[in-house]
Amino acid sequence: MVPDLDLYVAEGGEVTSPGPGRWRLLIPQGEERVYRLAQLDDYAGRRSRRAFPHRPPLRLSLRARASAPDLRGTWGFGFWNDPFGFSLTVRGSGRRLPTLPDAVWFFHASPPNHLAFRDTHPARGFLAAAFASRPVPTALLLLAAPLAAGLLLPAAARLLRRLARSLIEEDAAIVRIDPTLWHTYELLWLPERASFSVDETTVFETPVSPTGPLGLVLWLDNQYASLPASGRLSFGSLATPEDAYLELADVELGGA
């Protein structure tokens, strides 16, 4: 089944279709501190995460290539719960309150990103990754919101990192390929596990699997977020020295 996708762009981002079943996501050259995004998704217009369209068992397959091996920012494709809510300005998310992350996806993160709560897991590079969070009442998250400014203090950020490890299961592995070449990617999301394949070869399997519902997202942006063991929290938007793009083809969803 070919999914019904909507597009969203920010600050010069473009989503074009160079041919049947193909998309080209592009963000232009530009300075730091300006967030640039090109995205396809099937959830942003939904007011509640309970209305997100996907649960396991589900299979995502597609072909993709990137314009450079280490594009600045992040890009990828898979399923997530868009956890940040009104903390980001992405269309649709402002109607949803923040929550803890659930995701299963292929995810590329350049330096200075550091996107793992456990020191034993890779925190940047081209990853196959899964996050599954315990349910936490939104009211508790809202009560904690006024404390967010304290996270700029390393001791507070280290405490948050330890707390996150108790609430969020995560697992990830580096995918050692050249992403500038066309590859066929397959993500098998099952209730008890997730499996990731590239060119019909399994590259990662994990028992970490979110229950859903989640939304499908395919994106390219210049954003970074870093919460390393040192506790020095940082986030923002990176300069892009040249136009960056992600090409996608033959995106299909099917039963597992």
- Least confident range from 4-13, 163-172, 223-232: namely 223-232
**Secondary structure E strands in 49-193:** 58-66, 74-80, 103-109, 125-133, 168-174, 183-189
Q: Would you give the DSSP letter of residue 246?
A: E
pLDDT tens column, 36-79: 999 999 998 888 899 999 999 999 999 999 999 999 999 999 99
Q: Is 145 helix (H, G, I), strand (E, B) or coil?
A: helix
Tally of CB atoms within 10 A around 239: 13
Q: Is the pLDDT confidence value at 191 over 50?
A: yes
140 confidence band (pLDDT: 50, 70, 90) = low
Q: Is the pLDDT confidence value at 89 over 50?
A: no
Phi, psi (deg, nearest 5) at residue 37: -145, 140
* Mean pLDDT over each residue of the chain, to the nearest integer: 89
Task: Give the residue, 1 or 243, on which the prediction is more confident.
Answer: 243
